Structure 1
C-alpha cells in the first residue's frame, strides 16, 4: 500500500523541520594603486571561508542584512594619506545575488568604514 504524501511527511517528520537558511558566500577583493591585490572568501551561516575575521565580518553583514551601504564605520583614527583602495564583493547573500563596489581613501579607511569586512 502506497502512502499518501501527507502521511509520508508526518511519519518521517521531515515536513516539520525548518528549512536551513539559504547560503551566503561572497568573494571579497581589494586592489590599491601600488598594485597590491587581496582576495578572500567569506561564507556566513555558519561563518567560514578564508577571511581572517570571518565571525566578525559575518556579524556585521548579518546586522545590515547583507547591505554593504548600511554598514556603520567603527571609531578608529586613520592617516590622511591618500592611497585609494578599490573593493568589491560578489556572490550571494541568503540566496540572493549580491554585488558591491566602492573606493576608500586608503586601507585603514577600508577596514574602518566596513567595520572589518574589508580588513584583510
Structure 2
C-alpha cells in the first residue's frame, strides 16, 4: 500500500496521453504594407485555424481560401476610396497549405490595397 498515495498522480499523468495536441495552422503568412511616408505595418496571419495578429483573420482566411491562397487571384470588393495618391507596397511571404507564397504589389493607397485584396491587406 505504499504506492496508493501515488495513484491519483499516476492517473493524472496517464490521462494526459488522451489529450489532443494543439492543431498547427495549415497556412502561415507574414503581410506588410510600406507607405511612402516610411511607415511600415506588418501582421501575421495563420489559417486553418484562423489566427495571428491580423485584425480580421477569419475574413482574410476566407478570402484566401476562395482564391486557393493566391493573392493575385482575389476578386476585389466594391469599396469607396479617396482619390488621394499615397502609394503603398504590399508584400506577403509564407506558405499556403504547404505551397510557398510570395506576393508583391503597389497600390495607389491603403484603401485600394484593402479593396483590391478584399481585406487581406486591411490592417
Q: The TM-score by the shorter chain falls in which range?
A: 0.7 to 0.9
Out of 27, 46, 55, the position equivalent to 2:58 is: 55
Out of 77, 85, 88, the position equivalent to 1:85 is: 88
Within a 5 Å distance, the mapping from 1:1-120 to structure 2 comes to 23-120=26-123
RMSD: 1.5
Q: Stretches of 4+ moved more than 4 A in 1? A: none
TM-score by length of 1: 0.81
Could you tell me how far 1:77 is from its partner in structure 2? 1.1
Could you tell me how far 1:46 is from its partner in structure 2? 0.5
Structure 2 unmatched runs, 5+: 1-22
Equivalent residues of 1:22, 1:95 under 8 A apart: no
Count the aligned residue pairs: 101
Task: Select the structure of larger CA radius of gyration.
Answer: 2
Report the secondary structure of 1:81's partner residue.
coil
Deviations 1:48-86, CA, capped at 9 Å, x for gaps: 100000000000000010011111111111111110000
TM-score by length of 2: 0.79
Structure 1 unmatched runs, 5+: 1-19
> Separation in 2 of the partners of 1:116 and 1:53?
8
